[in-house]
Structure 1
Amino acid sequence: MTRCPEFLAPQCSQPVPARACLLSALFWLLGVVAGLAAPTEDTLRIRPNVNELYVSTASYSVLEDPSGRLTLRDILQPRYNAGFLPGNLTSGGKPSGNIEHTRSAYWLRIRVRNEAPDQNHWFLEMFDSHINDLTFYRADAQGTYHGVRTGADLPFASRPFAYKNFLFSLQVRPGQTHTYYLRLKSDSKTSFLGRLRNESMLAAHFQSEYGLLGGFYGVLLIMVVYNLFIFLFIGERTYLRYVLYVLSCSLLFLSEDGLGFEYLWPRLPWLNQVVNAGAPILLLVTFSYYARHFLDAPQRLPHFDPWVRAVVLLSAGLLLLDTLFVKSGFSFWLYLLPYGMLYYAALLVYRQGFRAARFFLIAQALVAVSLLFLITRKLGVDFINTPFTVYSMNVAFVVEVAVLSYALGEKIKAIKDATIRTQERLVKQLHKKHQAQDRLVEQLRQNQELKDQLNSELEEQVARRTEKLRLQSETIAAQNRELQQANGLLALQSAAISKLNGELQHDLQQVQTARVLSKEVDFGEFSQIYPDKDACLRYLADLKWAAGYRCRKCGHEKYCDAREPHARRCTKCRYVESATAYTMLQKCKFSIIKAFYAVFLIYTHKGSYSSQELSRVLELRQGTCWSFSQKVTEAMRRRRQAAGYDEHEGWTHILLDATGTSEEDQPILQTEHS
């Protein structure tokens, strides 16, 4: 009894007769003869002064194992060994070698001939570090094959070299041709891309590659820390969304280039699989969340933004379903629609005049080009497979995070400038208001001077008349009998003058009262004071926020102009409050000018102004006037019962009464959800 050769030992655990070994050797020789007769792949030739070779699709042969049960012992048999086809003819006649069926195992056969006289060690590097199960078979000096098994499903320590990609030592001797086998099993579609490098070239490649990747992640870390501190200082949530997006980018690249598995979770292959599958979905969600709010899509595109949000959520759900159950391998096509809609939204916003969107368009264009290179590499297209295209996505994302950070700063600066301009307009309005108040005070002063002058003139006239009457009385006293009739006439004149003086005093009192209560102002004169809706809203807004603005939702004290005239938007929570909200005129169903005049009439008549007269003056239905007058009368009653009520206060205090407003009449809260 003899034992199997060493390269068959993993598949054979029992002793076999010598005849069986001879038959196996015979079948192996037949396989070699059949392999010579079949079309063979090109041999990779290591020539002098060559430091690296690219493993093209014509440089290896591929055999698909649908069952996934074939071993190296089976592969070396003639019927299987003759089934290897060149890589450029596999995958159903496609012009490249790909893993098309995720349930199958694929065998690669690579022949390497060393025609260089030096003794450099050569290594085979497989670019895709996400292959789940990979076994590399290499023959020793006696022709016995030994396997090295590794893969993304095994701990990182299973790899023969501590490198982010799969790296295997070839040990090819000068002047000899060696045949190597690789067994690959992957849950996702990928291509067989690799490269041969000698030890000197590999060392230089390690130094440059890890240096560039360190700089790349350093830039991402700087962006995260910088924008996180800005968020903590100013509280602007857009910076927090940007930080989440950059962290998602970092997680995606850590999973894509294999550095996360190498340094962060080397003993957790299941976590590596979760990160590989979930990082692109997380990036889609965080990017859409950041991009929509950076572009102010909910406000600028109110009809298009809900569709964008729905497509993003649907795509994320389909991607998760494909990752967990379907495993089609082409799920990256589901990213095209949401990213395309976000790019189109940025274009629409830019056309509306949002200048910061141009940076977004430029950055995403660079990322789109790098994604095109990634998709072609996934499909096995190698005619543009250069170091620049391989790391183009890293460069594109570095440029993108830097450009978007600058764009975010420009947006915040634009908001700050708009706030400053709004404050300047408010200062000008307050200045004009103060000027109007000064003019009103001056007019009242002039009126007082005219009244005092009139009273002085009347007093002088009365004094002169009294003096004249006194002189006449002395003359009449001397001629009492003769001028008795004249004295009676003078008495009548004196009574008439006294009556006229009383009437003048009464008229002056009425003038003063009318000036205070403005009872003599009709609707025409009232319309001159409040000529249009804008004037009424401006007066109501100034009266409402005379003590300063304070958000009813979050208590913030800074605001900016909203779309509705004289409405104010909170700069923190985006809550919008109109000038009529929480006032007597909220949900008023007729002209605000007539509403002002109605409140004025009812107040000045102390609530006794009839709805018929109010309907005639305002030209409104009596039922509407009656309802409004009841509302004003009730507000007056509550005002008189208030603790700080002043009987000399003006009618405008009634405008701010909102105690009777029902919950149905409350204004709709307009907020921006984070």
Structure 2
Amino acid sequence: MTVFYQFNFFLIISVLFTSSAFGQTNHGTVVELPDSVSQINVSTNFDFFLDTASIYTIDEISHETFQNRFQRATDPHVLFDFLDSQIWIRFTIHNKQSIHNHSWYLESWGFDIKKVTFYFPTPEGKFEPSTAGFERPFEERNIKHKNFNYFLDLRPWETKTYYLKVTRSYNQEFSFHLRTNERFLAHSLNEYLLLGIYYGVLIIILFFNLYLFFKLRDTLYIYFPCLILACIWFSLGRDGLGFQYLWPNSPWVNKLHNENFIELTIILSTLLFSDRFIRKYTKLNSISHLTYWTISLKVVLYINQIFFYELNYIVYLTVTIIILFIPFSLGLHSLMKAKVFSWSYTFAYACLFLVIIYSYSKTIQIFDSPILNWYIVYPVIFLEMVLFSFSIFNQIKFLQDEYIAANLEKTQVLEINNQLTKKLNSKLKRKVRARTEKIERIAVDLEQKNKELQTANLKLEELNAQIFQMNQSLEENNQKLKMNVVEVTKDLALMKGLAFTDFKKVFPDKETCLHFLSELKWKEKYNCKKCDYNKYKEGPNYGRRCKNCNYYESPTVDTLFHKLKFPIEKAFYILYLSNRKDVDLTLNELSKILELRRETCWSFRNKLSQAMEKMENNKELYGWETLALVNLE
């Protein structure tokens, strides 16, 4: 206990003389929430009190006279000893934000906290508890999330103090974060997405190997799925997804992870898979005997660790690595003797060693982030499964090569048999040949007649091709005649004094008018207005877009119909009537026929008069098409 008091003394001295971005008050550390942040890592920005006898209640802990007994945390582990004692953690948070719609959450990352009780201050001055942990049913949590999350209900410029009572299962590193609701959702979704991809790939590999098992009926493809399932179970227990979705009301399942039962399952399935994998190359039974002895030894060691004499975890880890290394090294030696070099199998086994070492050595800190330290085993497992899959593929290729070699030997034997058969058949052929000569002569005559028939057929095909070409020419001429009849009919119709209903049969809609105007406008040639380039491509509404400068020109530009405010087909009819000598409608009659305002009809007629003056009053019947292309601007 003297060491403990010295340690506490140095903690108090460091708190008094350390300046940080977090404020200090008479009641300890104060975490401030400015407007510019949406999350804060507070893994060491809190105060703690070690309750070695577990005798204090929240009323005693939260009392004003008790606050000076808390110490400032200087390490995420809080303490490296007293694993059986409860730790009280105090967070004092001052919300300096002016935004009223921000909700803040306290997140305690780390699924394997044995028990944690969060005390939320109520308006009556009491504290409302919320208990969770891997020994408690998941449904007891207020927020159904794999981590421990608590809503703070902290208003702008409000200061509140929260307490946590934590019971650890080992000397673990704590990771506390303050996050807004938006940041909490984004963080959770990203985490669940990455975990979903991880489990998705493992499940795909699992189902592929189960498919191979049902197709090939080889135990290799049932041992490997057992290994995959063990790794999935190990991962589900490590990240808390299994507790959240698979066994929320069975917290005893979580204890299997802490007792390394899943690690035992991974080792046993790996040994069985490795034994079957090597024997498919070497056919050595000695490897199987060694594997079964190794499995028995590992089971005995596990039972002793759980029920009898518990070894130090370093000793236990060393013995486990030796147990695994013996069959692996002998199996690798057997593969090399058989001239089989499976690098994927070797590296996959190395990844297995890393998983086992890291699962035992929870205190190893490779990165500064505890989340990265916790999840670093996932890519190792992922790589292990992928490499083992590659080794299986290589083995399938090896077996295929053996199958091909066996087929080659079989083919060679068949060729020898075929040669013997040919010698026997040659004798029979000589006897048959005499009898078949007459048939061959008949066949020659038939062949000659067939050639004559083929020649006749070729001539008939040439005649058919000529007839077909003539029919095509006739069809093309008929099509041209039809088009000419339509054009002549249109021209004849336009020479008559048509009523508007009849005129609409010729120009029924805007698209027909634009098409006609486009052909009329660019009948001779096309030149871009911007760059005078003569190459174009079709644009919307029968316009043309320059291939050089990309300038688009509408059919109505530089015509009487530019910036027209009423339907163009009605403007066509007014233009048509203006050029007729046998039809003379008043503005009122024209307004009634076209269902336009009288002023609109007068305005367009006035525009036509200006165009006629520009054309020097040329009112020949054929001139209305030329009149349409007059530019008055």
Superposition TM-score tier, normalisation by shorter sequence: 0.5 to 0.7
Contact 1:137 1:147 in 2 (8 A): yes
Matched, 1:290 2:277: no
Indicate the residue corresponding to 1:361 in structure 2. Answer: 346
Matched, 1:409 2:393: yes
3-state SS of 1:191 partner: coil
Indicate the residue corresponding to 2:522 in structure 1. Answer: none
Report 1:37-56 matches (<5 A). 42-56=29-43
Question: Out of 60, 78, 100, which is 2:46 matched to?
Answer: 60
Question: Out of 127, 138, 144, which is 2:120 matched to?
Answer: 138
Indicate the residue corresponding to 2:71 in structure 1. Answer: 85
Q: CA deviation at 1:178?
A: 3.0
Indicate the residue corresponding to 1:457 in structure 2. Answer: none
Q: CA deviation at 1:336?
A: 4.0
Contact 1:42 1:59 in 2 (8 A): yes
Q: What whole-Å deviation, never above 9, does each CA across 1:3-52 have from its counterpart, x for those lacking one?
A: xxxxxxxxxxxxxxxxxxxxxxxxxxxxxx99998997654332323222
Q: What whole-Å deviation, never above 9, does each CA across 1:513-542 have from its counterpart, x for those lacking one?
A: xxxxxxxxxxxxxxxxxxxxxxxxxxxxxx
Given the superposition, is the C-alpha separation of residues 436 and 380 from structure 1 closer, same or farther in structure 2, using an over 3 Å criterion? Answer: closer
**Equivalents in 2 of 1:85, 1:330: separation in Å?**
31
Contact 1:35 1:82 in 2 (8 A): no
Question: Out of 275, 281, 302, which is 2:264 matched to?
Answer: 281
Q: Which amino acid aligns with 2:35?
A: P
Given the superposition, is the C-alpha separation of residues 389 and 273 from structure 1 closer, same or farther in structure 2, using an over 3 Å criterion? Answer: closer
Q: Which amino acid aligns with 1:86?
A: R
Report 1:109-508 matches (<5 A). 109-119=90-100, 120-141=102-123, 143-274=125-256, 277=259, 278-296=261-279, 310-323=293-306, 330=313, 333=317, 335-341=320-326, 344=329, 348=333, 351-352=336-337, 355=340, 357-366=342-351, 378-379=362-363, 381=365, 383-385=367-369, 388-425=372-409, 428=412
Q: What whole-Å deviation, never above 9, does each CA across 1:563-593 have from its counterpart, x for those lacking one?
A: xxxxxxxxxxxxxxxxxxxxxxxxxxxxxxx
Q: Which amino acid aligns with 1:180?
A: Y
Contact 1:131 1:186 in 2 (8 A): yes
Q: CA deviation at 1:199?
A: 0.5
Q: CA deviation at 1:370?
A: 6.6
Q: What whole-Å deviation, never above 9, does each CA across 1:652-673 have from its counterpart, x for those lacking one?
A: xxxxxxxxxxxxxxxxxxxxxx
Q: What whole-Å deviation, never above 9, does each CA across 1:382-440 have from its counterpart, x for those lacking one?
A: 8432655543333332333233122102112202312432453466578779999999x
- Unpaired segments ≥5 residues, structure 1: 1-32, 90-94, 440-674
Q: Which amino acid aligns with 1:151?
A: G
Given the superposition, is the C-alpha separation of residues 65 and 36 from structure 1 closer, same or farther in structure 2, using an over 3 Å criterion? Answer: same
Given the superposition, is the C-alpha separation of residues 366 and 272 from structure 1 closer, same or farther in structure 2, using an over 3 Å criterion? Answer: closer
Indicate the residue corresponding to 1:485 in structure 2. Answer: none
Q: Which amino acid aligns with 2:343?
A: R
Contact 2:355 2:381 in 1 (8 A): no
**Equivalents in 1 of 2:310, 2:119: separation in Å?**
28
3-state SS of 2:110 partner: coil
Given the superposition, is the C-alpha separation of residues 174 and 398 from structure 1 closer, same or farther in structure 2, using an over 3 Å criterion? Answer: same
Contact 2:281 2:338 in 1 (8 A): no
Q: Which amino acid aligns with 1:48?
A: D
Q: CA deviation at 1:151?
A: 1.8
Matched, 1:104 2:88: no
Q: CA deviation at 1:185?
A: 1.7
Given the superposition, is the C-alpha separation of residues 280 and 289 from structure 1 closer, same or farther in structure 2, using an over 3 Å criterion? Answer: same
Q: Which amino acid aligns with 1:62?
A: F
Q: CA deviation at 1:339?
A: 4.8
Given the superposition, is the C-alpha separation of residues 306 and 81 from structure 1 closer, same or farther in structure 2, using an over 3 Å criterion? Answer: farther
Given the superposition, is the C-alpha separation of residues 65 and 320 from structure 1 closer, same or farther in structure 2, using an over 3 Å criterion? Answer: farther
Contact 2:90 2:164 in 1 (8 A): yes
- Unpaired segments ≥5 residues, structure 2: 1-11, 19-23, 424-633
**Equivalents in 2 of 1:68, 1:354: separation in Å?**
64
3-state SS of 1:295 partner: helix
Indicate the residue corresponding to 1:595 in structure 2. Answer: none
Q: Number of residues paired by the alignment?
A: 400
Question: Out of 45, 59, 80, which is 1:73 matched to?
Answer: 59
Contact 2:355 2:377 in 1 (8 A): yes
3-state SS of 2:74 partner: helix
Greater CA drift, 165-174 or 311-320: 311-320
**Equivalents in 1 of 2:53, 2:392: separation in Å?**
54
3-state SS of 2:208 partner: helix
Contact 1:367 1:397 in 2 (8 A): yes
Q: Which amino acid aligns with 2:174?
A: F
3-state SS of 1:111 partner: strand
**Equivalents in 2 of 1:302, 1:379: separation in Å?**
40
**Equivalents in 2 of 1:78, 1:34: separation in Å?**
22
Q: Which amino acid aligns with 1:249?
A: C
Indicate the residue corresponding to 2:588 in structure 1. Answer: none
Q: CA deviation at 1:304?
A: 7.7
Q: Which amino acid aligns with 1:109?
A: R
Q: What whole-Å deviation, never above 9, does each CA across 1:340-398 have from its counterpart, x for those lacking one?
A: 5566456545644665631123334456667777667x327484326555433333323
**Equivalents in 2 of 1:269, 1:234: separation in Å?**
39
**Equivalents in 1 of 2:304, 2:195: separation in Å?**
32
Greater CA drift, 364-373 or 44-53: 364-373
Q: Which amino acid aligns with 2:377?
A: M
**Equivalents in 1 of 2:159, 2:380: separation in Å?**
42
Q: Percent identity?
A: 22
Q: CA deviation at 1:101?
A: 4.3
Q: CA deviation at 1:106?
A: 2.1
**Equivalents in 1 of 2:384, 2:71: separation in Å?**
43
